[in-house]
Homo-oligomer: A and B are copies of this chain.
Amino acid sequence: MTTSPYESLVHAISDASLIGASASILSWDQETMMPEQGVELRSRQMAQLARLSHEALTKPAIGHLLSSSESSAEVKECPRRAASVREMRRDYERSSKLPARLVEQLARVASTAQHEWAIARKNSDFKHFLPHLNQLVELNREQADCLGIPEGGERWDALADGYEPGCRAAHVEQVFLPLRVRLQKLLDEVRGSKVSPSDRFNQTKFALEGQRSLMRFAAESLGFDFARGRLDESSHPFCGGSHCRDVRMTTRYKESCVNDALGSTIHESGHGMYEQGLPFQHFGTPLGQAVSLGIHESQSRLWENQVGRSESFWRWIAPNLASHLGNVADGFSSAELYGAANLVEAGFIRVESDEATYNMHIMVRFELERALIGGSLDPKDLPEVWNAKYKEYLGLTVPEDRVGCLQDVHWSMGAFGYFPTYTLGTLYAAQFFEAARKAIPGLDEGFAKGEFKPLLVWLNENIHVHGRQFLSGELCERVTGSPLSAEPFMRHLEGKIRPLYQLV
């Protein structure tokens, strides 16, 4: 039996991805399980695995197999295989531009920096984090230069392209600017309103044990499969893991606000269900991978907002709360709970923010990381500029860096160019959900009965199963019939906020 070039290529790429899958478990372990003193050698482990994975992905044999696959009939005549090879070529070219030394160094510095960031955040001590941030910005600028700045573009673009293929800062700015104007207008109206939903539920303390049990119940009910995944705790919620049968997501808890943990859990469950929906037989190759971070965020934001903040979701979950949280939870009507989940209030923390202010948080981060990578912002000035932006966009005075520029994990992971995908994902989410509503009769009414499966199946079939066969723009047109637009999101948001705040 002879093996075709395409088969050999698939085998080699999947084997190289396997190293990344192992690194991913170690990375999860570092955030959730590792004893504190493990960090020094863990950074060396992460660097080593990054180097080994980079070596495996860029070895010359892959280049040869790519060329022979590209010209083979079995690839040319099959759109799925052709798409897979197209994406493998993209990954290969990108990886080949990065020297092994830089890959290893970035992984080592990021692993250490994440640890130090967690300490800095806890103590609200930006100076503790600054040397690591300096290194990360420097290495990322170098990485961008190795990758090559696209024509007419800027350094940030080279990094963003790794998270969202084709993403450009100039384009992001064009999407963000008018969106901000519309959101600002809505926020002003909300501020002027005389009515507001009750936040009594958000002020009620619930024991963490009950919250933990509720989170598992919620994730499982929405469709996250615990035979193929876990839910743990970390200082910043995330979704990682090795592959579609081993998905690791985390959340975090505060006694004082169960909606924080619930929002994070549903958000990460959206990521987790996307991962679990990818085809196992294509593990490690583009047909078994997520399209982009924008599409990934579309899944998490869709479950978090279109589902988890819907009136019908709260009708379903309200009578289920007491068995986890105790009888106090019975004192809230589903209408009150729905209101509490949709309170509009400018706050400091992105992952706890409402749908109306969320994108403002993203816009601040986008502008700042663009400036950091572009070189116009010195990392040491980050807190000052961060705080000024929060004043300008959200009218808030940041009291300490813990709830300011130290709140997010991303930069400490060395991830620059990532943040805008949250807003892109938010827009995709609303657009996808409008399509799902058209396709599935009684979708919302089903939520009220705990029927989330039809939505998950629709997402599985229309988005997950394709892996990276289609780029995000193409996928959006296939699924919704139109290119990405902010209209569905604004329809969704205004349709919810205007009645709640009795705006005309």
Contact = CB atoms under 8 A, between A and B. Distances in A.
Contacts of A18: 41, 44-45, 48
B35 A25 contact: no
- By size class, the interface of chain A is 20 to 34
Interface string A25-55: 1100100011111101110110011001000
A25 B24 CA distance: 12
Given A29-B29, A35-B227, A230-B35, A245 B45 contact: no
Contacts of A245: 35, 37-38, 40-41
A40 B228 CA distance: 12
A56 to B, nearest CB: 9
A42 to B, nearest CB: 7
Interface in A241-271: 242-243, 245-247
A29 B243 CA distance: 15
Given A18-B48, A19-B48, A48-B15, A29 B38 contact: no
Nearest to A29: B25
A35 B243 contact: no
A226 interface: yes
A42 B49 CA distance: 16
Contacts of A283: 41
Nearest to A23: B22
A229 to B, nearest CB: 5
Contacts of A230: 33, 35
A456 interface: no
A291 interface: no
A233 to B, nearest CB: 13
A29 to B, nearest CB: 6
A22 B22 CA distance: 8
Contacts of A42: 242, 246
A45 B33 contact: no
Nearest to A14: B44
Contacts of A226: 35
B33 A22 contact: no
**Looking at A41, A42, A228, A245, which has the most chain B CB atoms within 10 Å of its CB?**
A41
A120 interface: no
Contacts of A133: none
A33 B22 CA distance: 14
Contact of A41 (B21, B33, B44): B21
Contacts of A45: 18, 21-22, 242
A36 B242 contact: no
A37 B242 contact: no
Contact of A33 (B33, B34, B48): B33
A212 to B, nearest CB: 14
Contacts of A35: 226-230, 245-247
Nearest to A32: B33
A52 B18 CA distance: 12
Given A15-B48, A48-B15, A26 B36 contact: no
Nearest to A232: B33
Nearest to A40: B245
A228 B38 CA distance: 7
A44 B280 CA distance: 14
Contact of A34 (B19, B37, B38, B246): B246
A227 B37 contact: yes
Contacts of A29: 25, 29
Nearest to A276: B37
Contacts of A242: 38, 41-42, 45
A223 to B, nearest CB: 15
28 contacts: A15-B48, A19-B48, A19-B52, A21-B45, A22-B22, A22-B26, A22-B45, A22-B49, A26-B26, A33-B230, A35-B226, A35-B227, A35-B229, A35-B245, A35-B246, A35-B247, A37-B228, A37-B246, A38-B228, A38-B242, A38-B243, A38-B245, A40-B245, A41-B245, A41-B246, A42-B246, A45-B242, A52-B52
6 closest A-B pairs by CB: A38-B246, A37-B245, A37-B228, A22-B45, A37-B227, A36-B227
Interface of A: 15, 18-19, 21-22, 25-26, 29, 33-38, 40-42, 44-45, 48-49, 52, 226-230, 242-243, 245-247, 283
